[in-house]
Amino acid sequence: MAVQWREHLLQGTSTGQDRKPGRGRGQQGPPMRPHLLKAPPSLPIPTLETELPSRENLWGTYTTQSPSSRTLLTMWEPGAGCERREVQECLQQFQVTRAQLQQIQAGLLDSMEQALRGQANPAPAVRMLPTYVGSTPHGTEQGDFLVLELGATGASLRVLWVTLTGVDGHRVEPRSQEFVIPQEVMLGTGQQLFDFAACCLSEFLDAHPVGNQGLQLGFSFSFPCHQTGLARSTLISWTKGFRCSGVEGQDVVQLLRDAIQRRGASNIDVIAVVNDTVGTMMGCEPGVRPCEVGLVVDTGTNACYMEEARHVAALDEDRGRVCVSVEWGSFGDDGALGPLLTAFDHALDLESLNPHAQRFEKMVGGLYLGELVRLVLSHLAQRGVLFGGSSSPALQSQGSILPEDVAAMEDPSVGAAHVLTILQGLGLSPEVSDVELVRSVCAAVSTRAARLCAAALAAVLARLQRSREQQMLQVTVATGGRVFEWHRRFHSILQETVALLVPECDVSFIPSVDGGGRGVAVVTAVAARLAAHRRLLEETLMPFRLNCEQLAGVQAQMREAMAKGLRGEASSLRMLPTYVRATPDGSERGDFLALDLGGTNFRVLLVRVTEGGVQITNQVYSVPEHVAQGSGQQLFDHIVDCIVDFQRAQGLSGQSLPLGFTFSFPCKQLGLDQGILLNWTKGFNALDCEGRDVVCLLREAIRRRQAVELNVVAIVNDTVGTMMSCGYEDPRCEMGLIVGTGTNACYMEELRNVAGVAGDSGQMCINMEWGAFGDDGSLGSLSTCFDDSVDQASINPGKQRFEKMISGMYLGEIVRHILLHLTSLGVLFRGQQTQRLQTRDIFKTKFLSDIESDSLALRQVRAILEDLGLPVTSDDALMVLEVCQAVSRRAAQLCGAGVAAVVEKIRENRGLEELTVSVGVDGTLYKLHPHFSSLVAATVRQLAPRCTVTFLESEDGSGKGAALVTAVACRLAQTTRV
Ligand code: G6P
Ligand code: BGC
Ligand code: BGC
């Protein structure tokens, strides 16, 4: 049927060469701005029949309520019966009943909700594309912006210079220039189109000197696009007469930037991309109530509105609102409009550049109104009803009737003479009697368009009402597009029909400002603010981003400091001998007690080493801050009390088991069971302990308590305990690494390299105490002002500088200081400092692990920050995430540089080309952070390519290792001294 019609309609078409997808005749002349027609005199607005009109009642759609009103029927009274029937049949097809409109409304609402839910199968008829606009304008946006409009007004491109004053109601007229896009460009390559756009920009800037410095551009690109950022947007498909190759699937912002670059206009920065509907909505002056819907009917048609973010499945956000572009032009592409489509619609569709697509748009958009009228007139001419039965080449040529012609011919205030002139312009010889019929055809086509548009808008309003959960919705709709300007009746019919379809909505309509240009500038202003914030964020984080050279420098400095420390020369690395000379060989047996002090938890353990393996029973005890920072006596009494409690609970009272003491602080050991505390770290500061033998302090406390008998055999650093514990499973384990509250490493060094310990053969485990690396100022160039603040506020300023850049006790604090700084710059939290953020240690390192977790959506990041009492937007949450990433990444890389230095030293010690070695690792940061361990490994691979390093996570903590050291000591004591 459709094909038949098409052939029929095309009869007499001359060559078809005149096909003009764009503005038709308008293309030949200078670019046209919409010329405003005078408002027509009060023509009765047709009301809708609720019943389906009878076939005889051709004018059902146009019957007025008042018998005295003139109806369109009386405007033209056809003569002969068969002509009348011909016209009736033809125009009846353009009729839509209220029931049909309600069906469209319901169908579109359904599709919209399917798309919002992210339904994939079957694909919803509309796309519901989220934009990156999250709030309606505040009216405070300010600045000068370039706006480039492509696609909103068919074959023309506009460049505007918009000034936002930041003051409500104070407007500065924009400067603008319009350019006609040649048809060969609209159908050419993407590069041609974007080069043309860049050329128009240059011409505009030549004609309107606006200064040369950093011009910020908002790009209004009005085609269906997937946006992934304020300035990232991938074209899904062309619509409305455009078909440039190589653009679909591409980021149009990048294409424009490339073209601007090719033109050498490096002073223009494209910072936002916006659909015309969004520009229309955002351009509204903030009124009594915010404008939350943008409706465009120009060459194409579409609407956008503010949806609750939690309803948009495609978004990783559940708070606030987001502007969604409905892209309703494609409604009906699945056949839903079937019964409404006329033979003319089918013919138009098949001749279009995008057959079977944008079916709804092709019934409403201005690009198609003239074409539909042309097809009907041509048909009627052919049937002998019009123009004395003759046609003309122009009437047979696509695009020869423009939407503004339709508006003019339909307007009863425009005299018949003007209609005749338009028709004569088409090469026709119209009779005066033809005028009224032509008017009726125009009215039928445009009335249907207005009603369909109203049904679609009604669906959007119903959706808005549902998502706001409001019985009575008060809403403002911004309207844009030349069809509104040309067709006053279009607007009134739309308004009346909307009122009929959604009576519970109180809708006011406001025309857009500067054809949406202002709105684009508003979005661009917001984007500019965000871009400025991003620059400040980047500047702030730059010193945390270490390159390979810097990391290799750290590795080299570490090697140097290790060598000096081993030689007993002044060095920030103490390289402390531990008197552990061998890893377990598996023959150790017995029951041992172990203490584990210095990490997150203080633990007492019972370790049973049997032929079948190692069994551990342990109990965690707290060390309150007032004890950790009280007197030494208090601290060691507390430790003994915990041991007594543990022994009692385990039925061990009275037994004197050999005890290994994991004591995770720097100690100068003189033997396995002697360790002089050099200095406290990690928040411990008990008085009168530094410089004293920790084993003595423990024995004194035991004596004071007189409750237990303990045989302290070994004092062990946690790194050593970890190495021993992992060494029990893997003999290749020759290094221990801790990245927890603090950080440190130990490894097996050749005894000949260790000054101060007798003997030249064999090996000894060296506790590097690398937390203090850089305390001589050697890390100065890497240390940021935030590191300095954290250091200064700590209980040991100037000490443990490497540890303070890496370990869990400090990373949260570094992040907190950066957040404070960014807030003071206005980049975060709207510049509002909160009391919470000023509180020391409020930002735990655990938050870094949580926030950086890949499985966490941005909304959960927000929730974490809000739980902290921080007033976050999504942009804030994203920035906080980036801060965390920069800080933890640097920590992991520094740690990796340290490991690389150690494994390379082991390799060189042994004179090996290649080394295969395992590292036993423990610590909450290393274990809980989602990316720390892989970043450490990657850095080691990069800096120590000749070493194959396996990281073994310790399962049982270093207490087990301390027991094993004790076991080895007991075994060796039976033969020789350890
Ligand atoms: C091990 C030990 C602790 C050690 C800790 C480091 O498992 O048993 O004594 O200090 O790891 O981790 P943390 O994160 O607790 O400081
Ligand atoms: C496009 C929309 C645009 C509308 C109005 C349609 O063809 O797909 O993105 O908003 O025209 O210009
Ligand atoms: C201590 C080390 C310990 C490390 C990890 C540092 O503060 O000085 O002895 O190994 O923390 O717990």
Q: For residue 729, how many other CB atoms are within 10 A of its CB?
A: 15
Confidence label for 60 from pLDDT (cuts 50, 70 and 90): very low
Q: Which of 479, 461, 464, 474 is nearest to 519 (CA)?
A: 479
> Is the pLDDT confidence value at 899 over 70?
yes
Maximum CA extent, the chain = 129
The CA 627 to ligand 3 mean position distance, Å, reads: 19
Question: Do β-strands 674-677 and 667-671 pair in parallel, antiparallel, or remain unpaired?
Answer: antiparallel
* In-domain check, residue 477: yes
- pLDDT value of position 855: 75
* In-domain check, residue 199: yes
- pLDDT value of position 612: 84
Q: Does 445 lie in the same domain as 519?
A: no
Confidence label for 817 from pLDDT (cuts 50, 70 and 90): very high
Residue 422 CB contacts under 8 Å (≥ 6 apart), including other chains: 405, 408, 409
Residue 246 CB contacts under 8 Å (≥ 6 apart), including other chains: 189, 190, 191
- pLDDT value of position 36: 26
CB-count burial class (<10 Å; 0-12, 13-18, 19+) for 239: buried
Q: Is the CB of 271 under 6 A from ligand 2?
A: no
Q: Ligand nearest 660 Cα, by number?
A: 1
Q: Does 384 lie in the same domain as 244?
A: no
Distance CA 769, CA 737 (A): 11
Three-state DSSP at 640 gives helix
What percent of the chain stands above pLDDT 70? 90
Phi and psi angles of residue 763, each rounded to the nearest 5 degrees, phi first: -130, 165
Q: Does 395 lie in the same domain as 246?
A: no
The CA 223 to ligand 2 mean position distance, Å, reads: 5
* In-domain check, residue 934: no
Q: Where are the alpha helices (DSSP H) in 651-736?
A: 694-705, 718-727
Top-confidence residue, 35 or 117:
117
SS3 content of the chain, % helix, strand, coil (to 5): 45, 20, 35
Q: Whose CA is nearest to atom 6 of ligand 1?
A: 923
Q: Does 149 lie in the same domain as 114?
A: no
Q: Is the CB of 225 under 6 A from ligand 2?
A: no
Q: Does 141 lie in the same domain as 104?
A: no
Least confident of 86-90, 162-166, 808-812: 86-90
Q: Whose CA is nearest to atom 1 of ligand 1?
A: 957
Tokens matching residue 814: 């570094």
Q: Ligand nearest 669 Cα, by number?
A: 3
Three-state DSSP at 50 gives coil
- pLDDT value of position 705: 83
Distance CA 781, CA 893 (A): 16
- pLDDT value of position 320: 75
Which ligand 2 atom minimizes the distance to the CA of 296? 5
> Is the pLDDT confidence value at 46 over 70?
no
Please tell me what DSSP assigns to residue 40: P
Distance CA 171, CA 159 (A): 18
> Is the pLDDT confidence value at 529 over 80?
yes
Q: Ligand nearest 601 Cα, by number?
A: 1
- pLDDT value of position 653: 85
Three-state DSSP at 612 gives coil
Q: Is the CB of 327 under 6 A from ligand 2?
A: yes
For the chain, what is the domain count? 2
Least confident of 26-30, 154-158, 788-792: 26-30
Least confident of 387-396, 513-522, 670-679, 801-810: 513-522
In this prediction, residues 946-961 reach a mean pLDDT of 92
> Is the pLDDT confidence value at 55 over 70?
no
Q: Is the CB of 342 under 6 A from ligand 1?
A: no
* Ligand 3 site residues, Cβ closer than 6 angstroms: 598-599, 664-666, 681-682, 717-719, 738, 740, 742-744, 769, 771, 803
Which ligand 3 atom minimizes the distance to the CA of 599? 12
Round to the nearest angstrom and report the end-to-end CA distance of the chain: 101
Distance CA 260, CA 202 (A): 9
Q: Does 520 lie in the same domain as 506?
A: no
Q: Whose CA is nearest to atom 3 of ligand 1?
A: 599
Residue 161 sits in a domain whose CATH number is 3.30.420.40
List C-alpha distances in Å: 230 to 21, 110, 116, 218, 853. 30, 28, 20, 10, 25
In this prediction, residues 674-680 reach a mean pLDDT of 95
Q: Which domain-ending residue is among 480, 511, 542?
A: 511
The CA 852 to ligand 2 mean position distance, Å, reads: 38
The CA 327 to ligand 2 mean position distance, Å, reads: 7
List C-alpha distances in Å: 810 to 683, 718, 889. 11, 19, 14
Q: Whose CA is nearest to atom 10 of ligand 1?
A: 599
* pLDDT tens column, 301-347: 999 999 998 899 998 776 678 999 999 999 999 999 988 999 999 99
Q: Does 467 lie in the same domain as 430?
A: yes
Neighbour-count burial for 960-977, b at 16+ CB within 10 Å, e otherwise: bbbbbbbbbbbbeeeeee
Three-state DSSP at 152 gives strand
* pLDDT tens column, 115-166: 999 999 999 999 999 998 987 776 778 899 999 999 988 889 999 999 998 8
Q: Given ligand 1 and candidates 681, 922, 954, which is best to mutate, with the most ligand atoms within 8 Å of its CB?
A: 922
The CA 317 to ligand 2 mean position distance, Å, reads: 26
In this prediction, residues 510-534 reach a mean pLDDT of 87
Q: Which residue type, as a one-letter code, is found at position 448?
A: R
In this prediction, residues 377-402 reach a mean pLDDT of 94
> Is the pLDDT confidence value at 508 over 90?
yes
The CA 923 to ligand 1 mean position distance, Å, reads: 5
Confidence label for 975 from pLDDT (cuts 50, 70 and 90): low
Helix (H) or strand (E) holding 229: strand 225-229
In this prediction, residues 778-803 reach a mean pLDDT of 96
* pLDDT tens column, 835-857: 889 999 999 888 999 999 877 77
Q: Which domain-ending residue is among 496, 511, 526?
A: 511
Q: Is the CB of 483 under 6 A from ligand 2?
A: no
> Is the pLDDT confidence value at 19 over 50?
no
Q: Given ligand 3 and candidates 665, 767, 926, which is best to mutate, with the most ligand atoms within 8 Å of its CB?
A: 665
The beta strands (E) that lie in 91-204 are given as 129-130, 142-153, 156-165, 175-180
Mean pLDDT across the chain: 87
- pLDDT value of position 76: 42
In this prediction, residues 55-73 reach a mean pLDDT of 31
Q: Whose CA is nearest to atom 8 of ligand 3?
A: 665
* In-domain check, residue 460: yes
Q: Is the CB of 620 under 6 A from ligand 1?
A: no
Tokens matching residue 556: 């080299």
Three-state DSSP at 479 gives strand
Q: Given ligand 1 and candidates 618, 664, 767, 807, which is best to mutate, with the most ligand atoms within 8 Å of its CB?
A: 664
Q: Does 397 lie in the same domain as 253?
A: no
In this prediction, residues 70-86 reach a mean pLDDT of 51
The CA 27 to ligand 2 mean position distance, Å, reads: 20
The CA 240 to ligand 2 mean position distance, Å, reads: 8
- pLDDT value of position 324: 97
Q: Which domain-ending residue is among 474, 502, 534?
A: 534
Q: Given ligand 2 and candidates 302, 363, 479, which is best to mutate, with the most ligand atoms within 8 Å of its CB?
A: 302
Residue 604 contacts residue 648 (beta carbons within 8 Å): no
Q: Which of 326, 367, 379 is nearest to 109 (CA)?
A: 326
Q: Does 140 lie in the same domain as 236?
A: yes
Q: Is the CB of 845 under 6 A from ligand 1?
A: no
Q: Is the CB of 924 under 6 A from ligand 1?
A: yes
- pLDDT value of position 350: 96
Q: Which of 447, 668, 590 is nearest to 973 (CA)?
A: 590
Distance CA 489, CA 40 (A): 8
- pLDDT value of position 763: 94
- pLDDT value of position 259: 98
Q: Is the CB of 599 under 6 A from ligand 1?
A: yes
What percent of the chain stands above pLDDT 90? 70
Tokens matching residue 510: 């406001």
Which ligand 3 atom minimizes the distance to the CA of 741? 12
Distance CA 47, CA 65 (A): 7
* In-domain check, residue 593: no
Distance CA 299, CA 590 (A): 88
Helices 343-351, 366-382: inter-axial angle, 10-degree rounding: 120
Least confident of 59-73, 154-168, 372-386: 59-73
* pLDDT tens column, 710-752: 889 999 999 999 999 998 889 899 999 999 999 999 999 999 9
The CA 223 to ligand 1 mean position distance, Å, reads: 57
Q: Whose CA is nearest to atom 3 of ligand 3?
A: 664
* In-domain check, residue 478: yes
The CA 739 to ligand 1 mean position distance, Å, reads: 8
The beta strands (E) that lie in 562-696 are given as 576-577, 590-597, 602-610, 613-621, 658-663, 667-671, 674-677
Distance CA 490, CA 618 (A): 81
Three-state DSSP at 156 gives strand
Q: Is the CB of 251 under 6 A from ligand 1?
A: no
* In-domain check, residue 765: no
* pLDDT tens column, 190-239: 999 999 999 999 999 999 888 778 899 999 999 999 999 899 999 999 99
Q: Does 221 lie in the same domain as 247?
A: yes
Could you list the residue range(s) of the whole structural domain that residue 499 is in?
87-122+331-511
- pLDDT value of position 728: 87
In this prediction, residues 905-924 reach a mean pLDDT of 97
- Which residues belong to the active site? 603, 664, 718
- pLDDT value of position 81: 61
Tokens matching residue 968: 């080895």
Confidence label for 28 from pLDDT (cuts 50, 70 and 90): very low
Q: Whose CA is nearest to atom 12 of ligand 3?
A: 742
* In-domain check, residue 442: yes
Q: Is the CB of 598 under 6 A from ligand 1?
A: yes
- pLDDT value of position 40: 31
Confidence label for 21 from pLDDT (cuts 50, 70 and 90): very low
Distance CA 930, CA 766 (A): 30
Q: Does 523 lie in the same domain as 387?
A: no
Q: Does 398 lie in the same domain as 361?
A: yes
Which ligand 1 atom minimizes the distance to the CA of 923? 12
Residue 409 sits in a domain whose CATH number is 3.40.367.20
The CA 90 to ligand 1 mean position distance, Å, reads: 86
In this prediction, residues 648-656 reach a mean pLDDT of 88
- pLDDT value of position 636: 95
Three-state DSSP at 179 gives strand
In this prediction, residues 394-406 reach a mean pLDDT of 94
